[in-house]
Amino acid sequence: MEIDESLVARLVAEQHPDLAGETVRYIAAGWDNELYRLGDHHVVRVPRRQLGADLVEHEHVWLPKLAPTLPLPISAPVFAGGPSAAFRWHWSICPWFEGAPASEAPLANPVDDARRLGRFLAALHRPAPADAPLNPHRGQPLADRDAITRERAAALADLIDSAAVLAAWDRALATTPWDGPPIWLHADLHPGNVIVHNGQIAAVVDFGDICGGDPATDLVIAWSLFDDAARSEFRRAVDVDIDTWERGRGWAITHSLAVLSSSADNPAYMTFGLRSLAAATAAGSDSSA
């Protein structure tokens, strides 16, 4: 089914008529959703495929429960749209956060924002209930990523120092695996999902991959957003043990390789992947607790 501004306007008019007079404007499309600005204060998230629709339902169930417990605003839906004759999947109206993704907007004080984001994750990272979503690609043992990580490192040998990358990866694999209960995860925490306004982190968005698992998964952001000084402050604020931190470094390595493997035609993503990989493989750059 084609998704466009007229469809979104129809969905809003049918299911949330209080907002029917608001202007609908296309913003962007991701892997799973299309985004439409709705007036000045809302954004509509409409899934593009079945997988995206499943993830929207996870957000409908869990984000309203988590949002009040977190120290930063998140994209919890203010209205949960349902299937109808016009559109067969669930969809959302979420708050609109002024600003731009951290991948595009610089931080005025990275150390302060590292502390802010670390405290956010410390608040989020608590045991998830038994019926929390599971994700086969996030929150799982780092060893599950071994084969694909080595395959990608070998394929990128002309671009990266594969031996150094795999040495850092092996050190991460040697850490003690997570043996605690599944912990609530954002599970896709990269700079594109962190909103910056007036030079400061203002919100965290796109919780479609929310699940329970190893908290190290969310630590990828330490190497993909912050420099050494800010990363050290982030580590203090998030307050994890050394094994979890080093597994997080491993997640940063495997995530960076995934980005590089799919960015041949995207110079900005290529630069991002190389920078994140370099930070994650730089031994000792963030060794202070």
For the chain, the average pLDDT equals: 95
Q: What is the mean pLDDT of residues 185-208?
A: 97
Q: Tell me: pLDDT of 66 over 50.
A: yes
The Cα–Cα gap between 166 and 250 comes to 10
Q: Tell me: pLDDT of 288 over 50.
A: no
Q: Tell me: pLDDT of 198 over 70.
A: yes
Using one digit for the tens of pLDDT, what is the confidence trace for 251-280?
Answer: 999 999 999 999 888 999 999 999 999 999
- Which pLDDT score, from 0 to 100, does residue 283 have? 64
The more confidently predicted of residues 1 and 286 is: 1
Domains 5-96 and 101-281 share a fold: no
Q: Tell me: pLDDT of 238 over 60.
A: yes
Q: What is the mean pLDDT of residues 189-200?
A: 97
- Which pLDDT score, from 0 to 100, does residue 270 have? 94
Domain spans in the chain, listed from the N-terminal domain onward: 5-96, 101-281
The Cα–Cα gap between 4 and 121 comes to 35
Using one digit for the tens of pLDDT, what is the confidence trace for 148-176?
Answer: 999 999 999 999 999 999 999 999 999 99
Q: What is the mean pLDDT of residues 137-156?
A: 97
- Which pLDDT score, from 0 to 100, does residue 30 have? 83
- Which pLDDT score, from 0 to 100, does residue 164 have? 96
- Just give the CATH number of 5-96: 3.30.200.20
- Which pLDDT score, from 0 to 100, does residue 286 have? 62
Q: What is the mean pLDDT of residues 219-241?
A: 98
Amino acid (one-letter) located at 177: P
The Cα–Cα gap between 101 and 88 comes to 30
Check residue 199 and give left, alpha or beta (phi > 0: left; psi -120 to 50: alpha): left
Q: What is the mean pLDDT of residues 214-243?
A: 98
- Just give the CATH number of 101-281: 3.90.1200.10
Band of pLDDT at residue 289, cut at 50, 70 and 90: very low
Query: Over pLDDT 70: what percentage of the chain?
Result: 98
Q: Tell me: pLDDT of 47 over 50.
A: yes
- Which pLDDT score, from 0 to 100, does residue 172 have? 97
Band of pLDDT at residue 1, cut at 50, 70 and 90: confident
Residues with Cβ within 8 Å of residue 131, at least 6 apart in sequence: none
Question: Are 269 and 256 contacting, i.e. CB atoms less than 8 angstroms apart?
Answer: no
